[in-house]
């Protein structure tokens, strides 16, 4: 059997998965503006590749189809499965390639370490596969807890992640760095793991997912959340994270090209709790990057920095303020399916 390979997000994709927000979830107070954000994401994605939308039943499908009536039928597909929440990045399939074939890895999902109800989310990939959503693509269910937002790859066997999340203790108790590295090598084909030991965002209930902090944009470049405000409580930790990133070396032994994304202004919920605003939570698709913006003075600089990293892709801003009300953003709300799934 061929060695698995975890493709980079910038490689060719078959489709992007979204789970539509519903009134019977925590989105209810802001459902109208949240749906508008999802319409913007789905519309942007469909300009470049198919978008597959997960809904629980035909009733919601009809509603969403009305919102997306201008999309080409060739670019829009509905899948049915019950879910608890919308954050499909963390409970959707993580896809590896094995030669010309793809395999869906269905990791165990437990609501970010048991914080929230998650049984439906955890079963959704299995249920979608059983319904024929992914055609003949193979699937493997794994007992290890792992969320898609916790890992990032260059597609060449290097994985970027955080100790704050994976070694927190509320996931896979007792699992060591070496234990994770063995699993990543066996299941993802990643033989190098870059561990970030610093970096967090207040309000982030994932315990430090890497997709809110630092991301590969090619095999030699990492963009990251920078903080240049010494008065901000994030300053010291994010400065320490920056030093870690600058000390990392790529497979050839060369330092990475590290590009700082700007630090946006603070945003708070109705209870005064800080929300985890991050420009690192962008989505790469065929020919474009969907970049979260927050009606912030730093938005333009963030878009410019991402354009520098992706000169051959369109940079599409997505107004993501509704998403951070539930502590996520564009990348958290989506999951790509590599092109091998279509084959």
Q: Residue 200 belongs to a domain with what CATH number?
A: 3.75.10.10
User: Nearest 5 degrees, angle CA 38-CA 96-CA 91?
Assistant: 40
- Let me know if residue 8 belongs to a domain: no
User: Nearest 5 degrees, angle CA 302-CA 146-CA 255?
Assistant: 45
**CA atoms of 142 and 291, how far apart (whole Å):** 31
List Cβ neighbours of 99 (8 Å cut-off, separation of 6 or more). 2
Please give the pLDDT value at position 100.
87
**CA atoms of 19 and 281, how far apart (whole Å):** 17
Please give the pLDDT value at position 26.
95
- Let me know if residue 1 belongs to a domain: no
- Let me know if residue 4 belongs to a domain: no
Helices (H) and strands (E) in the chain, counts: 10, 16
Q: Which residue, among 270, 280, 260, 134, has the nearest Cα to 206 in the 3D structure?
A: 280
b vs e for 285-294, b when ≥16 Cβ sit within 10 Å of the residue's Cβ? bbebbbbbbb
Q: Which residue, among 52, 18, 20, has the nearest Cα to 35 in the 3D structure?
A: 20
- Let me know if residue 131 belongs to a domain: yes
Tally of CB atoms within 10 A around 125:
26
Name the stretches of the chain with pLDDT < 50: none
- Let me know if residue 23 belongs to a domain: yes
b vs e for 302-341, b when ≥16 Cβ sit within 10 Å of the residue's Cβ? bbebbeebbeebebbbbebbbbbbbbbbbbbbbbbbbbbb
**CA atoms of 166 and 173, how far apart (whole Å):** 10
The token pair that represents 32 in the structure block: 């109208």
Give the tens place of pLDDT for each residue, 308-325.
999 999 999 999 999 999
Contact 280, 241 (CB under 8 A): no
Q: Which residue, among 165, 151, 221, has the nearest Cα to 193 in the 3D structure?
A: 151
Please give the pLDDT value at position 342.
80
Domain count, the chain: 1
Residue whose token pair is 């109705």: 270
- Let me know if residue 28 belongs to a domain: yes
Burial class of 163 by CB neighbour count within 10 A (0 to 12, 13 to 18, 19+): middle
Domain region containing 293: 13-341
- Let me know if residue 312 belongs to a domain: yes
* Residue-level length of the chain: 343
Please give the pLDDT value at position 1.
65
- Let me know if residue 5 belongs to a domain: no
b vs e for 132-143, b when ≥16 Cβ sit within 10 Å of the residue's Cβ? ebbeebebeeee
Using only C-alpha atoms, what is the Rg of the chain?
19
Tally of CB atoms within 10 A around 229:
13
């Amino acid at each position: 059997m061929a060695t698995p390979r975890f493709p980079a997000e910038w490689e060719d994709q078959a489709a992007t998965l979204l789970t539509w927000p519903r009134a019977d979830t925590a989105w209810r107070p802001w459902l109208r503006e949240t749906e508008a954000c999802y319409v913007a994401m789905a519309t942007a994605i469909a300009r470049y590749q198919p978008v597959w939308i997960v809904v629980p039943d035909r009733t919601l499908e009809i509603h969403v189809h009305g919102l997306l009536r201008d999309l080409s039928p060739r670019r829009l597909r509905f899948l049915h499965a019950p879910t608890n929440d919308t954050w499909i990045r963390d409970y959707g399939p993580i896809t590896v390639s094995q030669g010309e074939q793809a395999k869906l890895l269905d990791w165990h999902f437990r609501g970010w370490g048991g914080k929230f109800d998650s049984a439906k989310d955890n079963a959704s990939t299995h249920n979608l596969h059983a319904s024929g959503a992914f055609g003949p693509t193979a699937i493997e269910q794994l007992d290890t807890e792992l969320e898609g937002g916790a890992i990032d790859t260059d597609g060449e066997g290097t994985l970027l992640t955080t100790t704050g999340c994976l070694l927190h203790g509320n996931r896979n108790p007792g699992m060591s760095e070496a234990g994770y590295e063995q699993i990543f090598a066996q299941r993802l084909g990643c033989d190098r793991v870059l561990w970030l030991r610093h970096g967090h965002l207040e309000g982030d209930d994932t315990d430090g997912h890497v997709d809110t902090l630092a991301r590969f944009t090619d095999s030699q470049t990492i963009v990251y959340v920078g903080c240049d405000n010494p008065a901000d409580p994030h300053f010291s930790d994010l400065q320490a994270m920056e030093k870690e990133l600058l000390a990392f070396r790529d497979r050839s032994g060369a330092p990475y090209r590290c590009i700082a994304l700007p630090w946006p202004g603070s945003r708070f919920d109705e209870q005064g709790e800080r929300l985890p605003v991050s420009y690192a939570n962008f989505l790469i698709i065929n020919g474009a990057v969907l970049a979260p913006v927050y009606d912030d003075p730093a938005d333009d600089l963030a878009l410019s920095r991402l354009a520098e990293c992706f000169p051959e892709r369109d940079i599409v801003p997505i107004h993501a303020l509704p998403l951070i009300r539930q502590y996520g953003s564009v990348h958290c709300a989506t999951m790509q399916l590599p092109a091998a799934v279509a084959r």
